[in-house]
Structure 1
Amino acid sequence: MEDFSLQNIIYLVVGGLIGSGIQWLFGNISNKTSVLKYIVETNNIGVSTDDKTFGSVRVTWQDNNVRNLYITNFVVENGTSKDFENIKFKIYSGDNTLLLNESAVVVDEPYVIPKEEHYEERLHIPKDHEPNQQQIDEYYHSREYELGVFNRGKRLKFSYLCTNPNDDNPPEVFISTPSKGIRLKQNLVPYLVMKPLFGVSVTSSIIVALLLSAVVVILSGLWIKDVWIVASICMIFGLTGQVFAALFCRIFKFLRDLIAG
């Protein structure tokens, strides 16, 4: 009787903790700010110099001499489990860095990323008119975009030819988003990008996998007496737990959306 009572108590405590943990997890997942990670790379194309050994070297852009030229690339990846609509991005530079030519595309797709409407209006130059100083300054120091749909698993690439007219330091070019519920975070390990599993972000699937692993370990220990069977079950689930967790998240989301209508 004592063993039976203790077992029931363990079930209640563990079940309550796991239920509370899952409820807290999905409450935070559904309400938290989405994080889009990006990497940034800057490469030096050339520097104008007068060298005693190699002679005079000049860098030009559109037949104009420039002190230096750099190419800065931003790659933004939607590694979340969400698809975003009408997401905005702003690229801007420091006072000493001028943005020149650009390219903004959806990677592996035949689409360019359009400029934001108000940005286009501000930089619009009427026929037979010259750009004013405010337009010139804004063009050389910022770009603004609005993408209609940014699906999960997709990547965006923003590339800028830029120059520092007053020194040869690396250019200062930054990226941000004013879109609600979204923030950008720089990934300091380039190219190490973890893909969502069944549309579920890696972070979410790992957390759920840990919770499910705890359930498997506890239930196996309570119900199965053969230690080798318990060890085998735990080992198999440990190797495949993230897959089950991702499927669990997908089923949970489907049922939640079905109930919510």
Structure 2
Amino acid sequence: MDLSFLKDIFHNQFVRYIFAAFAGALVLYLRNRVRRLEYVVHHERIASSSIDPIFGSIQATWQGNPVSNLYTSRVELTNDTSRDFSEVIFKVYSGDTILLTERTEIIGTPRIVEWSPAFKQLMFVQPGGTPTQQQYDIYNKSREYKLPVFNRGQKIAMTYLTAIPPSASGPGVWVDIEHKGIKVEYIPPGPRIHGVPQKAAIGFGLAISAVTFLIFGMYSPDPWLTAFVCIFVGLFAQSIGAIVYRVLKLLKAIVLH
């Protein structure tokens, strides 16, 4: 197999200039871009009410009040960026889903995620008193938390008991954040390739397949070598894409450290 064409490509001065310019622009973009914190939400039904006049009825209740469908909803927010953040305030909210009890944790530590001072004040009830209707309405639709420190690689979780009306297809719980240089992105639950979301692995795999085809198609003098390499990359495109994705994330963390 004659691979000398690869040497010619790497020694081409124009190609080196293009690569250097691209690498410099990429580093500058990564240093100045807004960081994305990814979150996923998992819902699991634990009870439902049904009325059957023949075989009997089942009724789920919460504090004596009947509910049609009862779920546990777990929100996981991850700092998968290359930076540590401080004084992060974020909100978990819903639409027609009712948020009931909650349990929070900073995964891997004995600490919990606490309400923000403003939300604590909003939900404050005098000893012996009862919440107002406005407090009930806010509590059943949202929570606001404050993280004094959110280190890179750290993950937090908030688990709620949730209820939905009979007309709803399922619970809906989301995260919002207002912090300089940060935004959140919802990641739908789905299959993963070597720990990488399948969509990202396929995207990187297809891009690598296209680049491989162009390089070997334009410069390789051996059509059998071109066919073999392209078939190999195509067959393992998802795995190759997942590996490249993880390597690029590692390089990003090193470069932007």
User: Once structures 1 and 2 are overlaid, which stretch shifts more, 31-40 or 127-136?
Assistant: 127-136
Tell me the residue number matched to 2:139.
139
Asked which structure has the greater CA Rg, the reply is 1
The equivalences for 1:139-178 within 5 A come to: 139-165=139-165, 167=167, 169-178=169-178
The answer to whether the Cα contact below 8 Å between 1:83 and 1:149 also exists between their aligned partners in 2 is yes
Which letter maps to 1:153?
G
The answer to whether the Cα contact below 8 Å between 2:81 and 2:253 also exists between their aligned partners in 1 is no
Matched, 1:92 2:129: no
Matched, 1:66 2:67: yes
Question: CA distance change for structure 1 residues 253 and 50 in 2, over 3 Å: closer, same or farther?
Answer: closer
Instruction: Provide the aligned C-alpha RMSD in A.
Output: 3.6
Unpaired stretches in structure 2, ≥5 consecutive residues: 1-7, 220-228, 230-239
Tell me the residue number matched to 1:39.
40
Q: Hey, what's the Cα distance between the residues in 2 that align with 1:57 and 1:242?
A: 49
Which letter maps to 2:171?
P
Q: Hey, what's the Cα distance between the residues in 2 that align with 1:57 and 1:155?
A: 38
Unpaired stretches in structure 1, ≥5 consecutive residues: 1-6, 197-201, 222-230, 232-237, 255-261
Deviation at 1:116, TM superposition (A): 0.9
The answer to whether the Cα contact below 8 Å between 1:84 and 1:149 also exists between their aligned partners in 2 is yes
Question: CA distance change for structure 1 residues 247 and 188 in 2, over 3 Å: closer, same or farther?
Answer: closer
Question: CA distance change for structure 1 residues 195 and 111 in 2, over 3 Å: closer, same or farther?
Answer: farther
Question: CA distance change for structure 1 residues 191 and 84 in 2, over 3 Å: closer, same or farther?
Answer: farther
The answer to whether the Cα contact below 8 Å between 1:79 and 1:195 also exists between their aligned partners in 2 is no
Which letter maps to 2:47?
G
User: Once structures 1 and 2 are overlaid, which stretch shifts more, 68-77 or 126-135?
Assistant: 126-135
The answer to whether the Cα contact below 8 Å between 2:42 and 2:189 also exists between their aligned partners in 1 is no
Q: Hey, what's the Cα distance between the residues in 2 that align with 1:117 and 1:179?
A: 16
Tell me the residue number matched to 2:115.
115
Tell me the residue number matched to 1:51.
52
Matched, 1:192 2:192: yes
Which letter maps to 2:57?
S
Which letter maps to 1:67?
S
Deviation at 1:60, TM superposition (A): 2.3
Tell me the residue number matched to 1:26.
27
2:148 counterpart SS class: strand
2:114 counterpart SS class: coil
> Which TM-score applies when normalising by structure 1?
0.67
The answer to whether the Cα contact below 8 Å between 1:85 and 1:147 also exists between their aligned partners in 2 is yes
The answer to whether the Cα contact below 8 Å between 2:125 and 2:131 also exists between their aligned partners in 1 is yes
Q: Hey, what's the Cα distance between the residues in 1 that align with 2:108 and 2:62?
A: 28
2:111 counterpart SS class: coil
Aligned identity (percent) is 29
2:192 counterpart SS class: coil
Deviation at 1:132, TM superposition (A): 2.1
